[in-house]
């Protein structure tokens, strides 16, 4: 845990304002440093272990091994320029018939937590899968459970560090990551891609 105070961050923000040519004391900016400090606490919660979501899993009582699909929005910050990138994620996994299944609402919470730090889109995909995979094999007794048969994730993102600076061009990027049966089975990947097209 760092020992930097909110007041130190506030002063740093005022320094940045002066650097770009602003006056942090002018009327419109009086409370901006405080707002930015509060914003940082929210959008960078991924650095706080106590904010890590609790991932509910359940017994796979029906022994299903059918694809489970989920999609939603995400927002993150590029680690190269500290500018936003955001977009849609598309996630699927194949449960182990002898293992456990995810509480599907937890996928969005895990995506949000992993995205809430300075990130690379490629690393974000892996962070999400790693956290969900670990949750499915973790037990209170310490005895590992059978892992899921495979995971798939596609993240489409718009990077403002490309669209509003530098080349000032369309900053769209798509990253995919597959494990297990999704990595080995092209037909299964195609089924996943077809589900994405229907969204």
pLDDT for position 192 = 98
Cα 188 to Cα 144: distance, rounded to the nearest angstrom: 26
Residue-level pLDDT at 138? 85
Residues 131 and 53: beta-carbon distance below 8 Å? no
Q: What mean pLDDT do residues 122-136 have?
A: 97
Tell me which of 43-47, 122-126, 136-140, 158-162 is least confident. Answer: 136-140
Number of other residues whose CB lies within 10 A of the CB of residue 46:
20
Res. 45: pLDDT tops 90 = yes
* Cα–Cα distance, 83 to 105 (Å, whole number): 28
pLDDT at residue 99 greater than cutoff 80: yes
The mean pLDDT of 161-173, rounded to a whole number, is 83
Residue 198's pLDDT is 93
Average pLDDT over residues 129-138: 94
Q: What single-letter DSSP state applies at residue 46? A: G
pLDDT of residue 184: 95
Contacts with 144 (C-beta within 8 Å, 6 or more apart), sequence order: 137, 138
State the average pLDDT for the chain.
Answer: 94
* Cα–Cα nearest to 108, from 84, 72, 58: 72
pLDDT tens-digit map of 54-89: 998 999 999 999 999 999 999 999 999 999 999 999
Q: Alpha-carbon distance 49 to 156, whole Å?
A: 26
Cβ-based burial of 108 (10 A; exposed 0-12, middle 13-18, buried ≥19) = middle
pLDDT-derived band of residue 187, with 50, 70 and 90 as boundaries?
very high
Task: Find the mean pLDDT for residues 10-28.
Answer: 96
- Rounded CA-CA distance 183/77 in Å is 28
- Give me the pLDDT at residue 94, please: 98
Looking up tokens 């993102």 gives 157
CA atoms within 13 A of residue 10's CA, in its CB half-sphere = 12
Question: pLDDT at position 144, please?
Answer: 81
């Amino acid at each position: 845990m760092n020992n930097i105070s909110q007041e130190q961050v506030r002063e740093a923000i005022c320094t940045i304002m002066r650097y770009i040519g602003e006056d942090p004391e002018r009327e419109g900016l009086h409370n901006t440093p405080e707002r930015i400090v509060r914003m940082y606490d929210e959008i960078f919660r991924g650095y706080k272990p106590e904010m890590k979501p609790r991932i509910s899993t359940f017994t796979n009582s029906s022994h299903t091994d059918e694809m489970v699909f989920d999609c939603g929005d995400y927002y993150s910050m590029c680690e190269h320029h500290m500018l936003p990138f955001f977009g849609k994620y598309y996630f699927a996994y194949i449960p182990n018939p002898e293992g456990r299944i995810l509480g599907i609402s937890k996928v969005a919470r895990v995506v949000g937590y992993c995205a809430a730090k300075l990130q690379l889109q490629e690393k974000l995909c892996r962070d999400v899968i790693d956290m969900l995979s670990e949750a499915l094999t973790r037990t209170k007794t310490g005895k590992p459970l059978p892992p899921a048969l495979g995971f798939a994730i596609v993240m489409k993102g718009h990077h403002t560090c490309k669209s509003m600076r530098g080349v000032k061009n369309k900053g769209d990027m798509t990253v995919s990551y597959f494990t297990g049966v999704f990595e080995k089975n092209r037909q299964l990947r195609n089924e996943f891609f077809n589900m994405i097209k229907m969204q």
